[in-house]
Structure 1
Amino acid sequence: MFEEPTLSSESHAGPRKRPPTLHHTPRAQGRAAIPNQVRGTSVPQGPPTPDGLDLFNRASKDAAEAALRACCASHRWALRIAAHRPYPDLESLLAAADEASYDLSAADLTEALAQEPSPGLHESAPQAAHMALGAAHALYESSFGHAFVICLDDFSPGERLDQVLSGIRLRMNNDWDEERSIAADELRRIARGRLAQLVANHPEPDISSAGHRVL
């Protein structure tokens, strides 16, 4: 996603030293005398390969914002995090993401939720499971006007369907304002996980928000 900047290097070798003179010594026991010490030559090392965070810090403004909007679709959220680069470590980046998430306005949250895909099932899942999940999503979206948002990072793949179905049933009892607050915090946690994944998996991040999320 990010293009690695071209690195240039300059040689700063000091003044060239005259090679040492080898003095001939008499042969001993029919064997040629050899120098007491042979100096090895060091192989110059190339520049270290930048890691994902380094490349994120040095990416162009447009590239960084595009990557960030794949983590959370709020334009202002992405602008804010990109503008505060460089980040010294992942923890600082995630802290900035959390702070930007807490500061989302109502309009920012609406923008982000509008682009958030509903978590779905792999096509190989039983048809009954697809139908149950689809009906639950439709009921939720008709009540709140956006996809059901839940962070499933702490659950195994086998637990995720039950977590979504039970989460929808439970949260359907919330009023609109309460559910918006819960959805905003779940979105913050999802964005945090995606951002960590983006940095860890560069240059080919597996950003789940790029399409239909599979449980």
Structure 2
Amino acid sequence: MTPTHLPGRPAIPTLPAVLDTFNSAPVEEAHKLLLDCLRSHRWADRVSVHRPYPDVASLLAASDEAAYDLSPGDLAEALAAESLPTLPDGAYSAAHMAMSAAHAAYESKFGHAFVICLDGVPPTEALDHVLEGIRSRLTNDPEDERVVAAEELRRLAKQRLAARFRGAGSCAAGPDGAVPGR
């Protein structure tokens, strides 16, 4: 902690920045935090090995770069750990049934959970957005869907990192702290 001192006032210790804590954390801790954002060991290794990051924007850029380089095996590993986005509070039972049926059809065709980034989608529109996404993506062939799913995973990882580091460094962008897609 670095004390902050103004003339005529007592020195007040300041807490280390969240990014500073991440940058100086042991590899295992950084790796665990990253795996909470995207369950790919290769991605977490690539992002953690490039520490320290000067700001959150640099961390998010490194996250993107590492996500673009996911192999089909890395992508399968990350997709296996994902689950269907949660429905907003108060969603009616028919919505749960529609979501379950659409997800079952998707998972049957592609062999993994449906992933979609809900960043910027108002909570009142989340259900419709997810259902529309599943229905439209069910028309994809497996290779096209792998590309779309990889992009959604990249966006989810970036959104989750931004939520964890919101207010740290110079990156003011980020969701409201919720982790959609989980």
Q: TM-score range by the shorter chain?
A: 0.7 to 0.9
Off by >3 Å, runs of 4+ in structure 1? 41-44, 206-209
Q: Does 1:128 align with 2:94?
A: yes
* Other-structure match for 2:129: 163
Alignment-mate amino acid for residue 87 of structure 1? Y
Mapped to 2, the partners of 1:65 and 1:48 lie a distance apart of 26
1:58 to 9, 16, 24: 24
| Structure 1 residue matching 2:86: 3-state secondary structure | coil
Shift of 1:132: 0.5
Contact 1:71 1:194 in 2 (8 A): yes
Mapped to 2, the partners of 1:113 and 1:82 lie a distance apart of 20
* Other-structure match for 2:108: 142
Taking only the aligned residue pairs, the percentage that are identical comes to 54
Structure 2 residue runs of 5 or longer lacking an equivalent are 169-176
With over 3 angstroms needed to count, the CA separation of the structure-2 counterparts of 1:166 and 1:50, relative to structure 1, is same
Q: How does 1:159-198 map to 2 (within 5 A)?
A: 159-198=125-164
Mapped to 2, the partners of 1:179 and 1:149 lie a distance apart of 11
Q: Does 1:79 align with 2:45?
A: yes
How many pairs does the alignment contain? 171
* Other-structure match for 1:92: 58
Shift of 1:55: 1.2
With over 3 angstroms needed to count, the CA separation of the structure-2 counterparts of 1:194 and 1:8, relative to structure 1, is closer
Shift of 1:199: 1.2
Contact 1:94 1:196 in 2 (8 A): yes
With over 3 angstroms needed to count, the CA separation of the structure-2 counterparts of 1:171 and 1:111, relative to structure 1, is same
Contact 1:68 1:78 in 2 (8 A): yes
Question: Which of the two has greater helix per residue?
Answer: 2
> Taking structure 2 as the reference length, what is the TM-score of the superposition?
0.86
Alignment-mate amino acid for residue 119 of structure 2? D
Alignment-mate amino acid for residue 93 of structure 1? L
Contact 1:120 1:133 in 2 (8 A): no
Contact 1:71 1:207 in 2 (8 A): no
Alignment-mate amino acid for residue 64 of structure 2? D
Q: Deviations over 1:125-183 (max 9, x none)?
A: 21111101110000000000011111110210011111111111111111000000000
Structure 1 residue runs of 5 or longer lacking an equivalent are 1-6, 10-40
Mapped to 2, the partners of 1:162 and 1:125 lie a distance apart of 11
**Alignment RMSD (CA, Å):** 2.1
Q: Name the stretch that deviates more: 186-195 or 56-65.
A: 56-65
Q: Please tell me whether Structure 1 or Structure 2 has the larger radius of gyration of its CA atoms.
A: 1
